[in-house]
Amino acid sequence: MKRTLAIVLALVLGLTMFGIGAAATPAIEADVVLMALTRTESDAAFDQSRTFNATGGVFQDSSNLSAWNNNWRIMIGYEGTERAPIVINNSAVIGNATGGHGFRSVGPAAVDAGITVDTATAFQIRFETTGYENIRFSARQRSTGSGPQQFALAYSLNGPTGPFTPIANSTTGNVQSPSGFRDNAYTDFDFAAANTFTNFVLPATVADQAAVYLRVYMVNSTLEDRANGNTSINDIVVIGDEIYQEVLPGNDDGNCIWLTVLTIGGIILLVIVNGLAIFHFVRIVANV
């Protein structure tokens, strides 16, 4: 009896794959500054705007800082001498466009009823993390003695108006100017509460993103008068680690040749060199 036996590649029993030459080892960079923003007193007369552009970092050109109240972008900055410009002034949070209620805080107080992470008074940092993970955030904050006391972090990947997701365990201490220090939010960040965030690890979901919006929003206020005081932020830094991407030897530097050999019963069916088939049998027919 004659039978036809078809042998196709799906039934190949032998597979050999090996490389000739040196494998490429990618260099992974850690603690890369993705964006940075620092402003000094000398900038004060020129910075009263709704956006502050980043001053450094890999993604400097696509990173910036703005201020928000009731999910409206508000004025940020203050013209004058001896004042660092990155300030939310009380006059910016009492306009009709923002609800006319002054600073807005997320907290248990009755005056905070109905205020959410999206509508609280906040600094907002936009940055990019494409190709980076393990994202960390640092900044220094300070308020006047009658200004906001505590802040927390929230993020959005959906645009500047959110919705925002609160970040657990991110609430600061009291950033008001303590007794004995100059009573304003514009100079002298050098006191214990000033280092509000130091390499604070952000959620893994913000890694490898074209745009991340991070809000530093007001929480737990005990202020009786929400229309007084000022609050400032400075020395903002976002860092990350480069995401490891395996580089196949020979693909980029030409130092290695990959050979893939498919065999059955000692018969070579297919030879692939660096992804290119140079010799193959598609079908072998034998009569039995």
Residue-range domain boundaries for the chain: 4-26+246-287, 32-242
Question: 8-26 burial, b if ≥16 CB within 10 A, otherwise e?
Answer: eeeeeeeeeeeeeeeebee
265: pLDDT confidence band, cut at 50, 70 and 90?
Answer: low
pLDDT recorded at residue 12: 41
pLDDT recorded at residue 71: 93
258: pLDDT confidence band, cut at 50, 70 and 90?
Answer: low
Percent of the chain having pLDDT more than 90?
Answer: 36
> Which of 4-8, 76-80, 157-161, 222-226 has the least mean pLDDT?
4-8
Distance CA 18, CA 26 (A): 20
pLDDT recorded at residue 61: 96
What letter does residue 169 receive in the DSSP assignment? T
Distant-in-sequence, close-in-space partners of 175: CB < 8 Å, separation ≥ 6: 141, 142, 143, 148, 149, 150, 151, 193, 194, 196, 231
Question: 187-223 burial, b if ≥16 CB within 10 A, otherwise e?
Answer: eebeeebbbbbeebebeeebbebebbbbbbbbbbbeb
What angle is formed at CA 262 by the lines to CA 260 and CA 266, rounded to 5 degrees? Answer: 130
Q: Please, what is the average pLDDT of the chain?
A: 75
Instruction: Look at strands 14-21 and 197-201 and give their pairing.
Output: unpaired
> Which residue is it, tokens 């936009």?
126
pLDDT recorded at residue 245: 75
User: Over the stretch 54-97, which tens digit does the pLDDT of each residue have?
Assistant: 999 999 999 999 999 999 998 887 655 555 567 887 777 776 45
pLDDT recorded at residue 225: 60
Distance CA 39, CA 49 (A): 13
Short-list 156, 167, 160, CA closest to 51:
160
Distance CA 98, CA 75 (A): 11
pLDDT recorded at residue 82: 52
pLDDT recorded at residue 196: 83
Whether the predicted pLDDT of 8 surpasses 80: no
Residue 234, both tokens: 């400075």
pTM recorded for the entire structure: 0.74
Contact 274, 68 (CB under 8 A): no
Whether the predicted pLDDT of 9 surpasses 50: no
166 SS3 class: strand
Whether the predicted pLDDT of 177 surpasses 70: yes
Which tops the pLDDT comparison, 175 or 202? 202
Which tops the pLDDT comparison, 220 or 17? 220
> Which of 66-75, 108-117, 133-142 has the least mean pLDDT?
108-117
93 SS3 class: helix
Query: E strands, 97-211, where?
Result: 122-127, 132-143, 150-156, 165-166, 197-201
Average pLDDT over residues 193-213: 90
Quickly name the fold that domain 32-242 has: Jelly Rolls (2.60.120)
User: Over the stretch 26-47, which tens digit does the pLDDT of each residue have?
Assistant: 678 999 999 999 887 655 445 5
What letter does residue 56 receive in the DSSP assignment? B
> Which of 1-5, 124-128, 148-152, 254-258 has the least mean pLDDT?
1-5
